[in-house]
Structure 1
């Protein structure tokens, strides 16, 4: 991008040189954010001037050399504003308007010294607040809301002069540039004559006397703000400035200096006719209420006269004022506007419809995303018109486009602020009422909370900003790209790509909907990739260009999260969950996260970050390994108090690290790289960046702080150092793809983000352990009863006979044994040690829930979980015992059911031949037909769930917190442990197993044997409920044993692969073992084993029937 320069008039060469660079958005951070308002205070100018009273070499310098060394506050700020793009000036003013300082309303042009630039269009709109009564804040939109202006001018010359007098009434004695300000001994500022400074008269800018005597009572009765404009130089020399100031709702305070003549008085009277005017005679021989003596300027009696003149000057009816109707005389010209006809048409449309109507009825796609989006767009003509208006701004040339968007943003924000003011006030009023209710009447608390929620919902429905237009365009782009692909819509990403490259911000993630407009964002990124195919980035902030040689990157990217822990969303579970997801997402796709902490309390933010860090450790999609710097804003650098929040965060981080390491398999941790980087920073004491106060002192009118500037510079250097040392720089093309993949992962992550903090995760894990204890006793109880029931019906089967009726009764009796035996487990009446143990553990679990203050909902959910597990166990055991019984019956001979099937089929066959006889071939075919029907019947009775399905279900349940592991398990690709990094050295370098083959073989051998160990311990030869839980415990024990034996701490990635290997080996073995057991216990298997025997029986019966 070309660097533009402004050619400077020769009059300003002594201070600016022949030309100055045009300050664009890319320079804004360094020039404004870094320097702040500090340099713009007159008190600090002396520190910028090199002087040495003992240095005689300078005594011989001529006037020209002395002029080159002149520097004033006014020259600094006037040069800064005159050399900046209009959008940057607007940003500068929004930053500086928070300080009790004056601003140049009219300044000389840099390239044409006799011309003056009127800055008014860029100063219109910012909100000025003041307090009329305790708790009552008035908002005034500068030059848009009602106001009055007092214009101070002088006729003649005197030192000390008008500005010195005015400064005596202000909170700072250097409010306006004057002959008594620091550095004034070097001469008047170069650019002061004919310029106009202004400020607003509030408690912060007024001196105590002026506030008490004049404005305190004025603001109790009026909502309009009062401005004070100060014209520098003899007013008679600047009639164009006088005509300009007369167009405001203004009155004039005229200072007549000694030596003025009647002719001069008449000229000024004529210039300000029709305007309220108050005259002050300075150092006049006539002593009146309107005359003052500058020799007694420090006396309050003298200053009270001036204060009363201010009060008198306020006594006029303010006229209406519109910026667009200003008329300027020959030497004045408006600064470059941000207003354009295109932007104004859009603003007028919103103003006519209201922000609430636009948001609720026009921009519908971002609120009602559905399959009918294209139809909604086509049928919503107001939306199409709004898009047309907005698009007309986007197709402007880039410089004009940025200005037009700045205009839209300013005006829409103002309209939205006005519309929502009543609802916001109501919410704050109700919040105050809630505090009182909580102390006095708790019955009303819920009602007031609902009213507060409704008020904030109303605010949300009326809040409109530039981001809402951006979101709607994103949705429109998506539906149009799938349908008609209108050219004017398909080009919109190109315009936004140009804006992003030039420093304009765009929304990455819709915080309201919690989603990324993937097609829209991808299209913008694609246009950037086309323009800069190899752009390397460090994801943190936009600082400056040409960093590639020093830092190894071409650009910085800033991701700014807004609204985390918003007061109006407090105690809303879904909102809090969204905060945790947003923090995870922002940190996960960044190289560096700056944690901004206001004051000494950071509990909520710490909890959000704890969960975000744990969630990142669970997700594999990003590989940036983010770092953190904590910026803490404090009132003082008290090391004891400063260490507390840092210690809180360090402990929180340590807790996150501990739970990720100790519970890595329970938590489903994929990688702890990010945690280790953060841990290293805290150990080195490089985490905290304390920021001293923004202002020097605690009063509202305190000047900006030099120390704050130093802290910002220190942070700036730390960021650059981190960037330089980072090993994870990434190309923009890869990062833009990562954004979408990572958001998909975060938005589907439902484990970690459901918790508010680490404590809740620990409680969840501990509750899981308590529930597991109960489940294990349930397993034991069912296993014992299964064994007893099996023994009982096998004992009954000894009574088997060849009489069908008896066998049918025997079967019914055995079936009843199974049903009755399973009916009351684990609450059976018989003296069962295992059932007693189960009931004891269930009572312990209830007691645990009570002791840990779990609510009724949690208790009910836990109880239901246990009941479901018992019912599931009962069903599976019933199916298995029934299978064993049926198989035993078939093994002993044909059951009555089987004989019935055979007989019915035979009857059908015999009836078909109507007394004829079968040939041998026909009889054989009939036998096969009866056999097939018998097989189908037995098969239909087999309710056993395939063992692979049972294994999959248990693995899914047991590893519910590790969805990615289950996904790999289902894919069935066994990891090669010899090729997996297993542990880290003391230098955090990841290593493979030392003796690769030997160590791998030992681990794999142990894992291969686990299935046999589990089955032997349970004395089982087949799958049973809870077997995967037992396997998990064995894997954990094996890893602990090997870790101790080898003195190695395995990393989470390796443990994950070990689990995957063991589970897949278990599944393979279990399928084989289950198949072997089924051969001896499955009805169908036993039937097939006795096929020849049953075929002979069927054949014999067929022959017997025909020979009867």
Structure 2
């Protein structure tokens, strides 16, 4: 512990905060009051607690369970303070561990491995930890309780003792005996007279739990069963906490009100100024509806940006149905580009909120530690501001979801179910709107930059040039903040912004070499937790969806490691969970496959994270990635991957799963061959596309926690697994030259541009689905040709009848002639869908193709009827003309004579004569053909697109 405290004293405030956060995650006690070895002042490191959250569940008298998730500095809980007076044969810290978690050393004590007899820096240190109940009957305490431990003899540390006694709800004092001659008895008598409960634990006494007077207990330790003693102490503490007249609530921030201590947030000027600047921004959000804040303060990233992304995808992935609406492809592209430019104009001319103005101004006016403090404070205050509303919305979502499930269980198809589902969707949208963090502010800055850059002009109300924005973001990356690479809400890469930030990064650092490590996995499989543990990062972690989109973060290679590695930075890319339940649907499949291909293509190494031992879901995604890479033949990508199986309890899983690994290899190779056949490639093995060694690139991780949260500590085996994986990654990385930042920038541009033009592959679950669908399309062509050829024969037959004088065609006659062919086609379809070896895959498209065939049949019948009716009308018109030919000739001759007679006086002006004759001729032709059907002006390209769209759809699923 002296080593830990030595590092703590020598660390800057950011490292202290990181240390305390990690200690909390490991379920270790945290330094609350720390005597400075240099000045002897008592320091309260409040700043170090700002990123720690605690969750717990409580049960009320009715049995209802309520959940809480709070930052520890906001939690109001009772405090139990432990002191020791004089020497004691029993360890106070070990006793506290038995109360909180007997299987884990929350408080370091004399019997821990590595402990020593002497203490240099721990005397006088007050440590704190919280007991968080899980809502189970086995909970030791029914509510969240703070436990404080004053190290050393309490009599020698008056300031710490004074603070703790003022804030504690229960005192627990350890001393040898209740001896009136002892110098500590003055303090004990003060505690005894105090209204707060007091528990005296006597090391040299063997008495059982005794209540000396109300709320005052004594318990002996000598020669007694420890489990009995611990239970008595627990019972006495619970009795004290249930005493309403004495139980007060302790809040971490209240310690700062004491005058005898130094508070880091107050004494550090940069920290104080950073908080003031962040608070200035938060004041603008007061009394605002959280679900409308982003729309009001961050307008560029909302509907406008989402519309632009959609238009951009439509520009690169036009369906033939959309092309049919335009006269040609160039006109279509021009139309889309024009729409996109209008959206950029709206973004560029939208009002710049004061919130964003202050943010930009603060970033520009500060530097160094002050900027980092400002950004960290802004993140902390935003989380604080949104937590209550998000908690309420999550509770509402849970209630609505339970209602929907209950109605579904009853097979209720009423309007109530529909209404409940609509309400659930509305709450889901509110949750999305209410999520508001630092990443959204940076996204807005990025969109401001993209709009101004596209319009090539600055915003009117922007007090500085937009061209400085990428430099600000680059500084943040250098300071350790992640940058959003793919917008998770819009499922799009803001290419202009990301490129500009990387250019600014190159200007500041030089064109450094990086090794790109990315991670992919199903939602809640532990991706961010793994990266955080491996590299000391702080990606968001919790149950459910935390990361949206993809974020990249720079990790500097130390001078010691540069001798082994040929690059300067590790660039870590964290991604959102794939196959998210709350986003289930076809669009999710496209998005997941796009993201997987993008991330694997970017990375020198991709960690495929799997929860458990079954990689089926990720196999499907990897097959699509492989086929997508085959279609990107012009890119010479050399990605590699490793499989990481999380939460595998069997330590011999690696040896036992040799058969499973062999099957994984065979499955991946089989699908690679299938994809190669589809794409006409000569690739045979999965490793030909993505470097992978099944013997060495499959890792098995122990479960993260030892026991059940919220009090379970991390599993040491998990940490060992992390270290082994890190060593393997660095070993592989040492053989790579990495890529320069400029090459990485080009790769992002090239890869995303190609992905935008690819849609077919991403629509499918796996490579087999693609092959099955293409075979189905071939069959569909055969079925449609059967109907078309049959209708052509029917059409010819009726044309002959019309030529022979039959001038009446009924639709039921056409249907009767097509009846047998239609039945044959339907029979063939039923046979194919029900008997083909891939019928389980085909069933998802059956209804759609049956509808297409039915629509084609109806269109053919109606189209043929229309053509035959036109032929009949034309025949009638010809017969009418033939009958009136002599009449028309005489009438034309008569009108010509009249015209010649009327023009005798005009002379021989040939131009005027022709004009008059043409006018008379046009008028006569109009009279003659007024009963004839009009001639149709055919648009050749419209017909081409319409016919092709029947056979080759670009959006197949």
TM-score, normalising length from structure 1?
0.64
> Distance between the aligned counterparts of 2:109 and 2:610, measured in 1?
40
The Cα shift of 1:441 comes to 3.2
Q: 2:763 aligns with which of 735, 738, 754?
A: 754
Q: Cα–Cα, structure 1 residues 285 and 189, in superposed 2: closer, same or farther, change >3 Å? A: closer
2:673 and 2:683 in contact (8 A); partners too: no
The Cα offsets for residues 478-509 of structure 1, whole Å up to 9 and x where unpaired, read as 34453435453622321110111232102122
> Distance between the aligned counterparts of 2:100 and 2:198, measured in 1?
19
What residue number does 2:315 align with? none
1:617 and 1:675 in contact (8 A); partners too: no
> Distance between the aligned counterparts of 2:555 and 2:155, measured in 1?
46
2:204 and 2:221 in contact (8 A); partners too: no
> Distance between the aligned counterparts of 2:188 and 2:128, measured in 1?
21
- Describe the SS at the equivalent of 1:78: helix
Q: Cα–Cα, structure 1 residues 125 and 650, in superposed 2: closer, same or farther, change >3 Å? A: same
Question: Which of 737-746 and 488-497 deviates more?
Answer: 737-746
The Cα shift of 1:761 comes to 3.4
Q: Cα–Cα, structure 1 residues 673 and 326, in superposed 2: closer, same or farther, change >3 Å? A: farther
- Describe the SS at the equivalent of 1:97: helix
The Cα shift of 1:837 comes to 5.2
Q: Cα–Cα, structure 1 residues 393 and 924, in superposed 2: closer, same or farther, change >3 Å? A: closer
> Distance between the aligned counterparts of 1:941 and 1:900, measured in 2?
26
The Cα shift of 1:683 comes to 6.5
1:158 and 1:257 in contact (8 A); partners too: yes
Question: Which of 529-538 and 140-149 deviates more?
Answer: 529-538
What residue number does 1:475 align with? 447
The Cα shift of 1:471 comes to 1.8
Q: 2:395 aligns with which of 425, 446, 452?
A: 425
2:84 and 2:153 in contact (8 A); partners too: yes
Listed as ranges, the matches of 1:101-112 within 5 Å are 101-107=28-34, 109=36, 112=38
The Cα shift of 1:341 comes to 0.9
1:589 and 1:622 in contact (8 A); partners too: no
> Distance between the aligned counterparts of 1:951 and 1:389, measured in 2?
54
Q: Cα–Cα, structure 1 residues 881 and 611, in superposed 2: closer, same or farther, change >3 Å? A: farther
> Distance between the aligned counterparts of 1:451 and 1:952, measured in 2?
42
> Distance between the aligned counterparts of 1:228 and 1:187, measured in 2?
24
Q: Cα–Cα, structure 1 residues 372 and 771, in superposed 2: closer, same or farther, change >3 Å? A: closer
Larger radius of gyration between Structure 1 and Structure 2 = 1
> Distance between the aligned counterparts of 1:205 and 1:159, measured in 2?
35
Q: Cα–Cα, structure 1 residues 681 and 508, in superposed 2: closer, same or farther, change >3 Å? A: closer
What residue number does 1:310 align with? 237
What residue number does 1:239 align with? 158
Question: Which of 711-720 and 285-294 deviates more?
Answer: 285-294
> Distance between the aligned counterparts of 2:730 and 2:921, measured in 1?
83
1:626 and 1:674 in contact (8 A); partners too: no
> Distance between the aligned counterparts of 1:623 and 1:275, measured in 2?
77
Greater fraction of residues in helix: 1
2:128 and 2:146 in contact (8 A); partners too: yes
Listed as ranges, the matches of 1:925-940 within 5 Å are none
Q: How many residues align?
A: 838
Unaligned runs of 5+ in 2: 211-216, 306-341, 519-553, 878-884, 924-928
Q: 1:661 aligns with which of 676, 679, 695?
A: 676
> Distance between the aligned counterparts of 2:942 and 2:953, measured in 1?
16
What residue number does 2:583 align with? 569
Is 2:80 the counterpart of 1:123?
A: no
> Distance between the aligned counterparts of 2:888 and 2:4, measured in 1?
103
Q: 1:528 aligns with which of 481, 502, 505?
A: 505
The Cα shift of 1:412 comes to 1.8
> Distance between the aligned counterparts of 1:628 and 1:199, measured in 2?
40
What residue number does 1:407 align with? 377
Question: Which of 508-517 and 299-308 deviates more?
Answer: 299-308
What residue number does 1:179 align with? 110
Q: Cα–Cα, structure 1 residues 735 and 283, in superposed 2: closer, same or farther, change >3 Å? A: closer
TM-score, normalising length from structure 2?
0.73
The Cα offsets for residues 317-347 of structure 1, whole Å up to 9 and x where unpaired, read as 4256462771466675527658521112223
Is 2:592 the counterpart of 1:579?
A: yes
> Distance between the aligned counterparts of 1:83 and 1:272, measured in 2?
40
Listed as ranges, the matches of 1:724-763 within 5 Å are 724-725=734-735, 729-747=738-756, 749-758=758-767, 760-763=769-772
What residue number does 1:21 align with? none
- Describe the SS at the equivalent of 1:508: strand
- Describe the SS at the equivalent of 2:123: coil
Listed as ranges, the matches of 1:866-1015 within 5 Å are 867-868=858-859, 914=904, 960-961=953-954
What residue number does 1:282 align with? 202
Q: 1:159 aligns with which of 86, 89, 103?
A: 89
> Distance between the aligned counterparts of 2:915 and 2:937, measured in 1?
29
Q: 1:688 aligns with which of 693, 698, 701?
A: 698
Is 2:566 the counterpart of 1:555?
A: no
1:827 and 1:839 in contact (8 A); partners too: no
The Cα shift of 1:786 comes to 8.2
The Cα offsets for residues 372-403 of structure 1, whole Å up to 9 and x where unpaired, read as 7777887757x224541464256421322223
Q: 2:427 aligns with which of 433, 455, 465?
A: 455
Listed as ranges, the matches of 1:760-771 within 5 Å are 760-771=769-780
The Cα shift of 1:230 comes to 0.4
What residue number does 1:863 align with? 854
The Cα offsets for residues 86-135 of structure 1, whole Å up to 9 and x where unpaired, read as 3444444444434443222234557x374554333221453322232486
What residue number does 1:500 align with? 477
Is 2:196 the counterpart of 1:196?
A: no
Q: CA RMSD in A?
A: 5.2
> Distance between the aligned counterparts of 1:421 and 1:674, measured in 2?
51
1:130 and 1:138 in contact (8 A); partners too: yes
> Distance between the aligned counterparts of 2:942 and 2:351, measured in 1?
51
Q: Cα–Cα, structure 1 residues 451 and 909, in superposed 2: closer, same or farther, change >3 Å? A: same
What residue number does 1:147 align with? 77
